[in-house]
Structure 1
């Protein structure tokens, strides 16, 4: 939150709270107290809270931009006044003032949030939250969030309970250098400015001189450079643009520019100042109700709330009788403005911990209750912590004590967070045991003979076709094992991978290209000297099959090349928007084109395509994927399309850690697994129309009653949707025969393939696809 802990006064901390001048001001005079700013802070925090609580203001995130502009205005006005009255800027006094105002309340909320995470969240989330709490206390959380936002494997996790601290971090990073910037600019302005003084009159009005012109020039340079970066980075990487200080500094710089012109704005005629302030307030509200998260932000879109806030500040300098202060200066808004910092600190963890503890989104009444409860906590925090810490006379007089208070608060956060991590116990242990096999791999050896595979398939097809209706999950050799797993309630003591290490159980995904990468890595697994070349091509849902393909390649002497990129559909959908980047995924297009050229040059024997079924692409129809499959077959390769795996849609590790004695509560129902989603069916249809053989892994993961998350002692998923390497590798004896059958068919397609005829999900269609459960008859 911006303008954290600041009031609307320019005098020394500890001055009387009441204004010392007529609130209407006098022409050209700078008012020590600005009721309109206090009310404007209330508007900003209301927008943010209503947005985060989903209470009807979809663009309330612009409240943070309002705070940034207010903060730049107040801080710069304070520094300019100090230089005018004392001839210098005391960095020690400035940093001590910031520490007193920011750290006590911030540290209290961090410690309380960590304790609440210990009480109500899973042990795994507590570990993550404790680490993030340390980064928040050190004012570096924005960099962590920007990094995680560009990491595909982290970006889709639950929001951090300390995510809202990013704006505090941006401010503190900015104000680490702000007084130095102003001092240097003034010091380089010529002989008179180097003296460090400028004239002021008895009313406190500041008259710009050479030093002030130098400050304005410096602020213009900072604002212009940062805004240009904001536009550029927003188009390239939304997380870094949103959380980065380099793309946000122009916003407080705009407020600072208004501060340098306070005297000039104070001489505005009421006929100009009044409409200007109302126009600014209207602009802020317009941005809040028109913008949403579909608009690239900050970038150009941030201009509206930033300039609107500047208009309110500038118009209010003249204190026009009919200005926006008529509304903003009302007692309720001013009271809420004083509470805004503490309310901002409390509201987000209240909403997030409640939702994450229950494991489901909050209802409207619950969100409203969380917002009100956090406001009550803000009242207590303001009266007992925030106000005493910033106004205690001994702390005001002795800057070193103020700095020591801030350092002590940060140290307390670090110690409490480290203790929380050290004391938490993760169910299931931290040392994994050896994985129990799902069946006897030797039992599938007969399918190395394509003729035997076809005979087995047709015999089992008659049995499978006798089912009363299509459930989306065919029977497989693992059905009985999966059914037993659904009835297990306790985590096994030798769980592998353990919950504490499962997130990193993706060694075979080392070749997954991240967002910024455009050149295909082309990692080789299996038997590098093999004469049969197999290519795995797709996104992270394709990459999760890297481990079994490595095993299959070594056993069958296949050379396997891996081409997979995070959240990059293998089919060339135009203008595909990557959520984490907040823009068209051009890196995906470049990478895909390079991969397709490589495949054409390699002329592999088999291409295995995998992709997440994306609901937002369902409206594009099956034609794009069908065209991709035809292009791949034109290279002379047989093509297999791996149907998308069941989708838990929640963090599996967190759920199991919360319910170690009732893991069946975390099982995924068929209805929730997206197996019957329209996006999945359209992908399947496109692959079928293009001539691919379809392999459905659902039978290895689910029964008609649901999908277990632990099978034997093996963890099936490592996050919200991706298989663990350990479980995927155990599926090699079942995937291998299906791929061998596809190789036997060759590029001519289903007509020559040992496949079965099975009813498709779409009425009126018939679908050729490999019944993977019937090709590999291992014991259940």
Structure 2
């Protein structure tokens, strides 16, 4: 049977199975390196099949029913997606504590609204290099991209073929191909720019991804012409395309130059394979083996189910081989059941087709058929809109709770009531508490803040962007204001300077010195270390930026901090920077360059200390508190606190205060045991509010040891 006689192709179905399996393996075992290129194949197949359908409909009937097209997309996409999203949100509420469960609910809302990709861009997610546990719904970005694309493409096809007579397939094809070529040029150019300037965002960006559909679109429009080519030639070209696609999965590095030009080989291979196919040969028999055909039939629900399972099952029960194998089996089982009992019945339901499109006389507008929706559709749409508005409002309020505290935090720093804290009396008592926390097999019953309240707002009010003293580089100098703790008439002044970690340390420093008659002033800039050093590079990179994210903006921030010191002439300056700046950058350098970087770093620290010594009687560098996993991510109801522990490499410990001729306080033992294992709680106090900032309670509990370490 020729391809013109049927839209079903075994080779395409089997390829979906092969690459769905590849994606599952990649998300569980991180192999092969280019596993995500399976998405490129799905985009090409989608463009091919849908455009072929649109061209056939326009050439045959003289019109394209946009409502029928949307109805088909809803039947194909919505039931399975809604089921998986709802189950995932419920499972997240059972697995995680409230802070992360709320985040997943927000992710689910964006996925329901088909804007997940823009949501993840706004949240600054990195799909391929995540900084923490990925969202179990992060994979829905591709679904959002596809549906956003098909909100536009059919309309463009309708407009491009307005004046074409019914039955004139050649003109329909010609106009669609010209339209596609123009769209390809524009979207590829945008993708190249977006990838170069914002690679993490480009990965999710609909426009940056749109060019991947278009080669399949061109192939679909030209399918009748391609069918006239000798089947042996088509099979050869199609087989080469599949090989190119498969090789891309093993040799491409999707973390660099993706989607443009990184996805070009995989999209090219997928296009050749889909356009020319593999026919009636041993290659087709190998390609369409029974497991591949089976996985191809359930590939859509398999893709949706596997990712939340791959994220949540290992978190709940550990990443052992049995758990990972169970994740594969569970994904296939749920996909099979979903396909059998939901996806297939919905696609075959005649009643649903009539229910969604109605049986009214069609209205033809500009070559497109627009049917009046039935009352059922209107009611369902109103119910859906109401649900989205209500859930969206609740989600927005809950999500805002993660970013900013209640009205108390939005007030002035001095008006915020501090939580009741009993500081550690000395370093020895603190170290004993650290050792006990490392060996604990359960979270303390009186943990403060509790895991269901461990939002980022547990950082001090000094950290607040509105009322506090944490600013972004580039802030208008007129808007800069330090936080003031203690009376202006105090005899002595301490100036706390640094990146955002300084704002997190501020409550502890204030509690340590204000009762002793000091005034404590804090000024911090996110992602701007007080020390300026060229960012270390590997042999394959060009030097760029600054170890603290500086550049001109961070240089201006440092100048503002130094100007404050010149104005105040403080008795003591404390310089603070985060672990990412202090130690992780060193690990980025090739081994034989590490010592050179450490020397550059030491020189930068000494230079900055010398500058502050012009205005201050004494300057002390406060070593970084260790980074670790975000408690909201790692803390689950099925496991103990060991999931949230982190172990510092010895090289990082050695580097923390390895700066000669500079007074430095090494705080490693305040947070880690002698084996460099750092717990997520100490005593009854949660250590971190995110990956790198202390909770307010933790900072205040350290006031005693801070006073001891920073006093002469």
Report the TM range for the smaller structure's normalisation.
0.7 to 0.9
Q: Please point out which of 600, 615, 625 is paired with 1:624.
A: 600
Task: Measure the CA separation in 1 of the matches of 2:320 and 2:382.
Answer: 39
Equivalent runs, 1:540-551 vs 2, <5 Å: 540-549=500-509
- Residue 67 of structure 1: CA displacement? 0.4
Equivalent runs, 1:195-594 vs 2, <5 Å: 195=165, 197-199=166-168, 207-209=169-171, 211-270=172-231, 272-316=233-277, 321-322=280-281, 325-358=284-317, 360=318, 362-400=319-357, 435-439=419-423, 475-476=427-428, 478-479=430-431, 491=444, 495-496=448-449, 499-500=452-453, 502-506=455-459, 507-509=461-463, 510=465, 512=470, 523-526=481-484, 534=495, 536-538=497-499, 540-549=500-509, 560=521, 562-566=523-527, 570-574=531-535, 588-594=550-556
Report the 3-state secondary structure (helix = DSSP H, G, I; strand = E; otherwise coil) of the residue aligned with 2:197.
coil
Task: Measure the CA separation in 2 of the matches of 1:694 and 1:343.
Answer: 54
- Residue 537 of structure 1: CA displacement? 2.5
Tell me the TM-score normalized by structure 1.
Answer: 0.72
Which one is further off, 621-630 or 391-400?
Answer: 391-400
1:179-229 deviations in Å (ceiling 9; x for gaps): 111112222xxxx42x5x242xxxxxxx421x5433323222322222222
Report the 3-state secondary structure (helix = DSSP H, G, I; strand = E; otherwise coil) of the residue aligned with 1:167.
helix
Report the 3-state secondary structure (helix = DSSP H, G, I; strand = E; otherwise coil) of the residue aligned with 2:498.
strand
CA contact (8 A) 1:161 1:352 kept: yes
Task: Measure the CA separation in 1 of the matches of 2:154 and 2:711.
Answer: 69
Unaligned runs of 5+ residues in structure 2 are 359-375, 409-416
- Residue 707 of structure 1: CA displacement? 5.7
CA 1:136–1:585 in structure 2 vs 1: closer, same or farther (change >3 Å)? farther
Q: Which residue of 2 aligns with 1:684?
A: 657
CA contact (8 A) 2:173 2:222 kept: no
Task: Measure the CA separation in 1 of the matches of 2:643 and 2:217.
Answer: 55
Task: Measure the CA separation in 1 of the matches of 2:47 and 2:41.
Answer: 10
Task: Measure the CA separation in 2 of the matches of 1:715 and 1:89.
Answer: 60
Task: Measure the CA separation in 2 of the matches of 1:629 and 1:678.
Answer: 18
Task: Measure the CA separation in 1 of the matches of 2:254 and 2:126.
Answer: 19
Task: Measure the CA separation in 1 of the matches of 2:480 and 2:63.
Answer: 60
1:4-25 deviations in Å (ceiling 9; x for gaps): xxxxxxxxxxxxxxxxxx14x5
CA contact (8 A) 2:470 2:524 kept: yes
CA contact (8 A) 2:508 2:700 kept: yes
Task: Measure the CA separation in 1 of the matches of 2:344 and 2:265.
Answer: 33
- Residue 710 of structure 1: CA displacement? 4.8
Which one is further off, 591-600 or 341-350?
Answer: 591-600
- Residue 77 of structure 1: CA displacement? 1.2
- Residue 390 of structure 1: CA displacement? 0.8
- Residue 281 of structure 1: CA displacement? 0.7
Task: Measure the CA separation in 2 of the matches of 1:569 and 1:289.
Answer: 42
Task: Measure the CA separation in 1 of the matches of 2:22 and 2:475.
Answer: 39
CA 1:346–1:558 in structure 2 vs 1: closer, same or farther (change >3 Å)? same
Unaligned runs of 5+ residues in structure 1 are 1-21, 200-206, 444-473, 742-780
Which one is further off, 32-41 or 700-709?
Answer: 700-709
CA contact (8 A) 1:150 1:239 kept: yes
Task: Measure the CA separation in 1 of the matches of 2:336 and 2:77.
Answer: 16
Q: Please point out which of 40, 44, 60 is paired with 1:69.
A: 44
Task: Measure the CA separation in 1 of the matches of 2:528 and 2:130.
Answer: 11
Tell me the TM-score normalized by structure 2.
Answer: 0.78
Report the 3-state secondary structure (helix = DSSP H, G, I; strand = E; otherwise coil) of the residue aligned with 1:645.
coil
1:543-567 deviations in Å (ceiling 9; x for gaps): 4324445667867655745243338
CA contact (8 A) 2:35 2:250 kept: yes
Report the 3-state secondary structure (helix = DSSP H, G, I; strand = E; otherwise coil) of the residue aligned with 1:343.
helix
CA contact (8 A) 2:305 2:331 kept: yes
CA contact (8 A) 1:503 1:719 kept: yes
The yes-or-no answer on 1:185 pairing with 2:122 is: no
1:240-275 deviations in Å (ceiling 9; x for gaps): 111111211111122112212222322333454233
1:473-498 deviations in Å (ceiling 9; x for gaps): x9346456667878796756693477
- Residue 594 of structure 1: CA displacement? 3.2
Which one is further off, 58-67 or 476-485?
Answer: 476-485
The yes-or-no answer on 1:640 pairing with 2:620 is: yes
CA 1:161–1:569 in structure 2 vs 1: closer, same or farther (change >3 Å)? farther
CA RMSD after TM alignment: 4.2
1:742-769 deviations in Å (ceiling 9; x for gaps): xxxxxxxxxxxxxxxxxxxxxxxxxxxx
CA contact (8 A) 1:701 1:708 kept: yes
Report the 3-state secondary structure (helix = DSSP H, G, I; strand = E; otherwise coil) of the residue aligned with 1:299.
coil
CA contact (8 A) 1:522 1:563 kept: no
Which one is further off, 732-741 or 263-272?
Answer: 732-741
- Residue 94 of structure 1: CA displacement? 0.7
Task: Measure the CA separation in 2 of the matches of 1:700 and 1:102.
Answer: 52
Q: Please point out which of 82, 86, 95 is paired with 1:111.
A: 86
Report the 3-state secondary structure (helix = DSSP H, G, I; strand = E; otherwise coil) of the residue aligned with 1:176.
helix
- Residue 679 of structure 1: CA displacement? 2.1
Q: Which residue of 1 aligns with 2:411?
A: none
CA 1:39–1:709 in structure 2 vs 1: closer, same or farther (change >3 Å)? closer
CA 1:657–1:43 in structure 2 vs 1: closer, same or farther (change >3 Å)? closer
CA 1:123–1:162 in structure 2 vs 1: closer, same or farther (change >3 Å)? same
CA contact (8 A) 1:643 1:694 kept: yes
Q: Which residue of 1 aligns with 2:663?
A: 693
CA contact (8 A) 1:525 1:550 kept: no
Task: Measure the CA separation in 1 of the matches of 2:17 and 2:108.
Answer: 26
CA 1:489–1:262 in structure 2 vs 1: closer, same or farther (change >3 Å)? closer
- Residue 37 of structure 1: CA displacement? 1.5
Task: Measure the CA separation in 1 of the matches of 2:497 and 2:214.
Answer: 50
Task: Measure the CA separation in 2 of the matches of 1:711 and 1:413.
Answer: 43
CA contact (8 A) 1:565 1:588 kept: no
Which one is further off, 221-230 or 381-390?
Answer: 221-230
